[in-house]
Amino acid sequence: MRLKDKVALITGAGSGIGWQTAQLFAREGASIVAVDINDKAGVACVVEINSSGGSAVYVRADVSRAVDCYNMIAAAEANFGKLDILFNNAGISHADDDDAINTSEAVWDLTMAVNVKGVFLGCKYGVPALQRAGGGSIINTASFVAVLGAATPQLAYTASKGAVLAMSRELAVIHAGENIRVNALCPGPLRTELLMKYLDTEEKKQRRLVHIPMGRFGEAEEIAKAALYLASDESSFVTGSTFLVDGGITAAYVTPE
């Protein structure tokens, strides 16, 4: 098993990428701290892991609050004795996120609080735990829009993911000498609830698919497999990377006929 005897904390574990990653990491031998703000979803994730022979605990946390982030890290060490893997995955994409003219200050502030401050606070309290464990891996969920402008305006989300990418690079440089690796995982368009709630007609889906050379949306499980690589010792020389898993969308100027 690729994560045998490791302890992994995953935020946003109640759905999408977080859920799939928690299940996969558990199958690969990790003990899981599943973090979410949705108690029902977070508990369901843990029940699924434990009923399948894994080991997991649920911690409720709003990642935009310092006390919650402190407590989730403390829970990892209290329950499992250490922390080896920190997956700062929780994020939001607000329905009212638009261009600079039409995005409200409230939507901007909320998006930044969850998507950027949440990663900062996870690292603020998580890095000392990794130091105590002798090193480890931090994975921060960014997005393909961190390197490619979105044609459909979502300015707060795009800016927040750019910030996560820049923050990940700097953290990687700062902590490289401490056996702590930090990478930004950048998914392309996925067939998850987060995106499909916007692409709610076949026409909208096709408008997005035409830009993806592989001609389909990615699956959360495929991103979880990329996260597994970054979490495992197989990526021991990988840090500070912009780890794109996007079906080729950022490589394409136009898609083939």
Q: Which residues are catalytic?
A: 157
User: Shortest CA distance to 57 belongs to which of 117, 129, 8, 17?
Assistant: 8
Q: What is the DSSP letter of 197?
A: T
Number of neighbouring beta carbons within 10 Å of residue 14: 24
User: Shortest CA distance to 91 belongs to which of 186, 3, 23, 166?
Assistant: 186
SS3 7: strand
Q: What is the DSSP letter of 117?
A: I
Amino acid letter, residue 208: R
For the record, the structure tokens of 194 come out as 């987060």
Strands (DSSP E) contained in 12-64 are 31-36, 56-60
In degrees rounded to 5, what are phi and psi of residue 96? Answer: -100, 10
For residue 55, the cross-strand partners are: none
Contacts of residue 131, defined as CB under 8 A and 6 or more positions apart, other chains included, come to 178, 180
